[in-house]
Amino acid sequence: METEQGHGLMTEFANFLVVGGAMVLLLSLFPVNQLRRRLPYSPCRVAWMFLSVLICCFFVGYLLYGMLFWNDARQWHDLVVPVIFFLGAIFVLIVCLLSARTADDVTRLCHLEYENIMDPLLGIYNRRYMDRCLRSEAEKSRRYGLELAVLLIDVDFFKKINDSYGHLVGDRVLQALAQMVKGSVRDFDMVFRYGGEEIMVLLPYTTLSGAENLAERLRQWVSERCMVEEVCNGAPIDVRITISIGVSAFNLDVENEGEMVARADMALYRAKQNGRNRVEIADSAQLKQAGKGVSA
């Protein structure tokens, strides 16, 4: 009698392991499907879809095994396969849950990094990230002897726009300008909000003449385009602006990245003093003086 009861308990336990393993496999499909839906169509998404198919195949295999060997566990060694099935299902569930949790953590970190380096209004890099990139690109230029240039862009009479149309329109003008500049440079060029209505463009592998040509094209494109066009209080608003740009290039021998930006800032100031809506190149005399100071 005790032997029959032991066999009965063993059989029920084996059946539970098989059915429980099948249910655990079904549960593992939920985190897999969450991951798959969040991914764009790519080889990675196809791989997760393939994993879903495999899990479904394993689920069917568990059911077939249960049908073939239902109530057939008589000895302890008959529990080996059901135990392996159940532990395998637990392993699959844990891996899927960890993958989904890791994906959530990575996504959260990416969002935090994005928010840490981007200006929320203009959708370009912020001043903090600008300082990091300037140091990195200057070091790269010094190490490998590469060209490096910057543009400092400022909106002419921006205060008049805010006074005439309000700060919301002023913000839209800056947004349109930032996106125009961003769309006009190369993929590896970097656009930053330098401060207020000023934008800085960092141009790796670019000579002073190349930066000047780009600055002149930007100045002309902005002057020819309407930045904001809408109807306010029944009257059309057609906001057009001009920009002034200061240009400088990095000298490997006599200056650091801060001095390059300072010279671009002085060139921008000179552009405003000379009538605005113009491009000015950093004064080479200042660079020569800096070189004499270093050699002394």
Instruction: From the candidates 4, 113, 197, 229, give the one annotated as an active-site residue.
Output: 197
Beta bridge partners of 149: 203, 249
How far from the centroid of its chain's Cα atoms is residue 151's Cα? Answer: 23
Question: What length does the chain have?
Answer: 296
Is residue 2 among the annotated active site residues?
Answer: no
CB 24 within 8 A of CB 86: yes
Parallel, antiparallel, or unpaired for β 198-204 and 190-195?
Answer: antiparallel
CB 279 within 8 A of CB 238: no
CA angle, residues 82, 83, 88, in degrees to nearest 5: 100
Pick from 235, 239, 76: which is nearest to 162 by CA? 239
Which tokens go with 278? 């113009």
Q: To which H or E segment does residue 57 belong? A: helix 43-68
CB 197 within 8 A of CB 155: yes
CA angle, residues 158, 160, 162, in degrees to nearest 5: 75
> Whole-angstrom Cα distance, residue 87 to residue 204?
55
Catalytic residues: 197
